[in-house]
Amino acid sequence: MGSYFAGRVFVEELAKQPDSAIYVFNRGHRPLGMIGITELVGDREQAEQIQRVIPAKEWDAVVDFCAYTPAHVKSLLDNLPGKIMQYIFITPPASIRKAGTCRLQKTACNFPARNLSSAAMQIMATTKVMAESMLQHTCESLGIAYTILRPTIIYGYYNYAPREKLLFRFAAQPSADNHSIARHGLVQFHLGRGYGAHDHALHR
Amino acid sequence: MIHETYQTAFNLASDELVSYSRIVESVGRDHGKKIEPVRLPAAEINRQGIPLPFPLEEHLLYSGAKIRQLFGIEYMPFKKGLREALKYYLMCRSSAALPPPDRPGDARNSIMSADLVLCNLGASDARLVGGARLDCPSGKQDTFMGAQDALGELSGPKTQVLDCQGGMVLPGFNDAHCHPIAFAMTQRYLDCSARQVGCISDIQAILRKQAGKAGKERWLRGAQLDATAIAESNALPNRWELTRRYPISRWYWWSDPASIASSTAALSRCGIDDSTLDSDAEMLGRDYYQR
């Protein structure tokens, strides 16, 4: 599930492994076109398409890069044909504030930011946490092993929507326009980001 | 060890701390531009709706120790990752000649969608590899020749992907093929290719030079004569032109795999003279008159 950015890199790396059999399920808007990869076209939000398009097999692992809600997780687990041995859920970390405090209970929300309001970010973070909970409960009831991987932030090739787009846009402009970044009001804040070292506060 | 990953969650985070100042410094260095940040209060940034990647009022710190202790994984350094992201961003912009898309759907549909992708192929010309671009016949879309890693970037919803299974791809028209045996044979013939011959006098010079070496009893055989490269005629030279000053009768030319120009003597050795009729498989052209 998901093959635009991190999912694509994952498929490219996995395809290097001999004897790997890889199936990719997405809406087909941007086919991988890689030899040895079976691409299945369908919409994960349509349960009927999950049932019809994905063949019934004993899946060693289902790797999901694009589940954002509990419904996404539940729908896939309920409708994917065949037997799932392990469900690997790739999802950004999320945090939920306790009312009236600024203390991070888990980790901070890590969604594509457009300076969302605090309330909006809390809603998104809550949805992500609920998706993880849905995964845990459903997998346990179905007897499926699961693993959750939470990349904090991913830099690299294939990033079609970089968070740093404002800065990148500046870099793409002609040299004569060096001061455009100032007009856009880029700021410098001393905020540590992404890769932390304070595990005592952050582990589950 | 695999089972230790079951029913659990891991942060994927390196020990590097990333800040706005590091991002600015890295992008500026990679792109050779001096960036002068402007400091504004977080509330003012939010009021203006300036799109910045991270929350402004708190540090976000994650630990990747749990999975690192289990697998000892390493991460791409931040600067390298940011450089790759910038490279892809700039490539998308230059490829599409459009502003960068805001939504994934736009990215998939508007950037680098090729009509046809040939993968796993051999190329006959070194110029065709290493990122060269060729115009495809439709004229609608370029064909990019490069590493297989680029396949994903070039594919779109209407892209046709063909697996060439290591075969050779030849640029050409409808009937691209080659004659390896004939080519091998002609390597021993006089080289009359366009590299050596640009006019009839060039052919005469080659004939004269070789006739002196071979003697009267040896046949002279030429090859690779390209009629379109001869300045005077845009056709194969006739027997008068070739023997105007130095009458040499024992020659024939293999101009291309489908046609041969021969002297009267050579034709006679094959039993061909003025009375020989064309067959249904071949046609005899004759020099009945001088140009």
Higher pLDDT, B1 or B15: B15
Express each pLDDT in B56-79 by its tens digit.
777 778 888 888 888 888 888 888
Higher pLDDT, B266 or A22: A22
Chain A contact set for B58 (CB, 8 A): 102, 104, 108, 191
Distance (Å) from the alpha carbon of A84 to chain B's nearest alpha carbon: 13
B58 to A185: CB separation less than 8 angstroms, yes or no: no
pLDDT band at B104 (very low <50, low <70, confident <90, very high): very low
Chain A and chain B share a number of CB contacts under 8 A equal to 284
Region A76-105: mean pLDDT is 71
Please indicate if any CB of chain B lies within 8 Å of the CB of A15. no
Q: Of the candidates B19, B60, B63, which has its C-beta nearest A190's C-beta?
A: B19
Tell whether the model's pLDDT for residue B170 goes beyond 50. Answer: yes
Please indicate if any CB of chain B lies within 8 Å of the CB of A106. no
Asked, for residue B289, whether it belongs to a domain, the answer is no
Alpha carbon distances (Å) from B227 to B199, B220, B255: 9, 19, 8
Distance (Å) from the alpha carbon of A125 to chain B's nearest alpha carbon: 13
Region A136-157: mean pLDDT is 88
Please tell me the total count of domains within chain B: 3
Tell whether the model's pLDDT for residue A81 goes beyond 90. Answer: yes
Contacts of B117 (CB under 8 A, 6+ apart): A33, B151, B154, B155, B159, B160, B161, B162
DSSP assignment string, A23-40: EEEE-SSS----TTEEEE
Based on the fold, state whether residues B159 and B249 are members of the same structural domain: no
Domain with residue A18: its CATH number is: 3.40.50
Rounded CA-CA distance B60/B54 in Å is 9
Pairing of strands A37-41, A22-26: parallel
Asked, for residue A193, whether it belongs to a domain, the answer is yes
Asked, for residue A139, whether it belongs to a domain, the answer is yes
Asked, for residue A53, whether it belongs to a domain, the answer is yes
| C-beta separation of B287 from B239 below 8 A | yes
pLDDT band at A160 (very low <50, low <70, confident <90, very high): confident
Based on the fold, state whether residues B205 and B244 are members of the same structural domain: yes
Express each pLDDT in B193-213 by its tens digit.
888 888 888 888 888 888 777
Asked, for residue A124, whether it belongs to a domain, the answer is yes
Q: Which of A108, A124, A85 is nearest to B63 (CA)?
A: A108
Nearest CA in chain B to A34: B151
pLDDT band at A52 (very low <50, low <70, confident <90, very high): very high
The pLDDT of residue B218 is 77
And the tokens for A35?
Answer: 């030899």
Distance (Å) from the alpha carbon of A191 to chain B's nearest alpha carbon: 5
Whole-number percent of chain B with pLDDT over 90: 0
User: ∠ at Cα A72 (A69, A73), nearest 5°?
Assistant: 95
Region A148-167: mean pLDDT is 79
Asked, for residue A1, whether it belongs to a domain, the answer is no
Express each pLDDT in B255-290 by its tens digit.
665 667 777 777 788 888 878 887 777 777 776 655
User: Domain residues for A27?
Assistant: 6-202
Based on the fold, state whether residues B93 and B12 are members of the same structural domain: yes
Q: In the Cβ-directed half-sphere of A197, how many Cα atoms lie within 13 Å?
A: 5
pTM equals 0.54
User: Domain residues for B254?
Assistant: 180-269
- Tell me the residue type at A122: Q
Based on the fold, state whether residues B100 and B117 are members of the same structural domain: no
Distance (Å) from the alpha carbon of A91 to chain B's nearest alpha carbon: 10
Whole-number percent of chain B with pLDDT over 70: 62
pLDDT band at B152 (very low <50, low <70, confident <90, very high): low
Express each pLDDT in B15-55 by its tens digit.
888 887 888 888 888 777 677 777 777 777 777 767 676 77
Based on the fold, state whether residues B55 and B148 are members of the same structural domain: no
Q: Whole-number mean pLDDT of chain B?
A: 71
B60 to A151: CB separation less than 8 angstroms, yes or no: no
ipTM: 0.75
Asked, for residue A173, whether it belongs to a domain, the answer is yes
Asked, for residue B288, whether it belongs to a domain, the answer is no
Asked, for residue B195, whether it belongs to a domain, the answer is yes
Please tell me the total count of domains within chain A: 1
Asked, for residue B121, whether it belongs to a domain, the answer is yes
A195 to B37: CB separation less than 8 angstroms, yes or no: no
Please indicate if any CB of chain A lies within 8 Å of the CB of B7. yes
Asked, for residue A21, whether it belongs to a domain, the answer is yes
Distance (Å) from the alpha carbon of B207 to chain A's nearest alpha carbon: 54
Asked, for residue B282, whether it belongs to a domain, the answer is no
B157 to A193: CB separation less than 8 angstroms, yes or no: no
